[in-house]
């Protein structure tokens, strides 16, 4: 393969058979093999394409987005390739490697250090974005939490890739962050294969599905403000995973040579929990989506001192 821009490369048909590791019939769709290193590149491209089509902005403008890391990284690449300036508003949980990568790509990174007492770090980040846009009328906020392009990108790509690879799919496990991947895939299968069970995997401490907010340390999944694009009627079941279980699952996967991200550990553990409670799990064709690789988590999830300090 030869590409002339970084958006021209994205592996969409790589799956890991987790049976030898987990003892369950579970396929893991790997979304980290692109220049952004995560599934977020799909939504980033779609949101920018949609904004350009609608005349909301054009190359030379400044795009702004709140992100815990992966979307910021993806938009940094899109901005560099398309000729935009990009400002990412993140918080202290964003991995240092992700911040440095965004800055190296030419993005400006603002780190929020204090959470909102009610809406947490996400609420504080969104308030900072709104202030930036108020102070800089030329800034254009993509707002992935309400932007239809966030889920449309996955409706057109991720969902159809899975449908093609697994025509007999029974259950699909999808991590819930901004819920773009979840909503895009859920809408596609509701329209084309309504028999597929859609299971959202969230983090303990996330408010997305009505649970009480609690401390969360691993960026990626979970929210402290419910995303506007979420439609719970499209979700059949929700599984909540505690962060220590996320860490243990990531460590189990890496012992077998798979260095995957924190969101992936959460999704895999959630899928295993759901399958363990199913009546006939071994008869199901089950797929889970791995959003990212593990290189940005070397100083957190894969650092024994950080784990010990964080979860003692």
What is the per-residue pLDDT across 224-241, written as a single tens digit (0 to 9) for each? 889 999 999 999 999 999
Which residues form the domain of 227? 6-34+152-307
Q: What is the pLDDT of residue 124?
A: 92
| HSE-up of residue 208 (Cα within 13 Å, Cβ side) | 27
Q: How many domains does the chain have?
A: 2
Average of per-residue pLDDT across 185-189: 98
Q: What is the pLDDT of residue 88?
A: 97
Domain membership flag for residue 60: yes
User: Is residue 290 within a helix (H) or strand (E), and if so which, with residue range?
Assistant: strand 286-290
Q: Is the pLDDT of residue 74 over 90?
A: yes
Q: What is the pLDDT of residue 68?
A: 85
Q: What is the C-alpha separation between 41 and 283, in angstroms, rounded?
A: 33
Alpha-helical runs (H) found in 83-172? 96-104, 120-135, 148-156, 158-165
Same domain, 60 and 199: no
Same domain, 127 and 273: no
Domain membership flag for residue 101: yes
Same domain, 166 and 211: yes
The model's pTM is 0.94
Domain membership flag for residue 92: yes
Same domain, 236 and 263: yes
pLDDT above 90: percentage of residues in the chain: 85
Same domain, 270 and 296: yes
Same domain, 99 and 178: no
Q: What is the C-alpha separation between 127 and 192, in angstroms, rounded?
A: 39
Q: What is the C-alpha separation between 185 and 155, in angstroms, rounded?
A: 5
Q: What is the pLDDT of residue 224?
A: 86
Q: What is the C-alpha separation between 42 and 90, in angstroms, rounded?
A: 20
Q: Is the pLDDT of residue 65 over 80?
A: yes
Q: What is the pLDDT of residue 204?
A: 96
């Amino acid at each position: 393969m030869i590409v002339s821009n970084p958006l021209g490369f994205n592996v969409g048909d790589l799956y890991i058979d987790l049976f030898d590791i987990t003892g369950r019939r579970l396929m893991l769709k790997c979304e980290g093999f692109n220049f952004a290193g995560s599934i977020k590149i799909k939504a980033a491209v779609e949101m920018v394409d949609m904004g350009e089509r609608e005349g909301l902005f054009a190359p030379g403008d400044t795009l702004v987005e709140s992100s815990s890391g992966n979307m910021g990284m993806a938009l940094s690449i899109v901005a560099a390739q398309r000729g935009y300036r990009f400002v990412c508003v993140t918080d202290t949980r964003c991995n240092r490697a992700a911040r440095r990568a965004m800055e190296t790509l030419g993005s400006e990174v603002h780190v929020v250090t204090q959470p909102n007492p009610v809406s947490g770090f996400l609420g504080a980040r969104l308030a900072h974005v709104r202030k930036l846009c108020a102070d800089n009328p030329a800034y254009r906020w993509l707002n992935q939490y309400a932007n239809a392009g966030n889920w449309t990108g996955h409706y057109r790509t991720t969902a159809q890739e899975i449908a093609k690879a697994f025509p007999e799919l029974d259950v699909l496990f999808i991590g819930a962050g901004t819920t773009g991947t979840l909503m895009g895939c859920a809408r596609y299968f509701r329209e084309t294969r309504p028999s597929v069970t859609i299971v959202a995997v969230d983090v303990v401490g996330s408010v997305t599905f009505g649970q009480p907010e609690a401390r969360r340390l691993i960026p990626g999944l979970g929210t402290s403000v419910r995303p506007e694009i979420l439609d719970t009627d499209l979700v059949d079941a929700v599984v909540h995973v505690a962060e220590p279980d996320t860490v243990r699952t990531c460590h189990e996967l890496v012992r077998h040579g798979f260095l995957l991200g924190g969101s992936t550990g959460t999704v895999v553990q959630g899928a295993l929990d759901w399958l363990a409670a199913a009546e006939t799990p071994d008869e199901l064709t089950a797929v889970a989506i791995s959003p990212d690789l593990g290189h940005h988590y070397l100083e957190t999830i894969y650092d024994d001192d950080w784990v010990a300090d964080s979860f003692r």
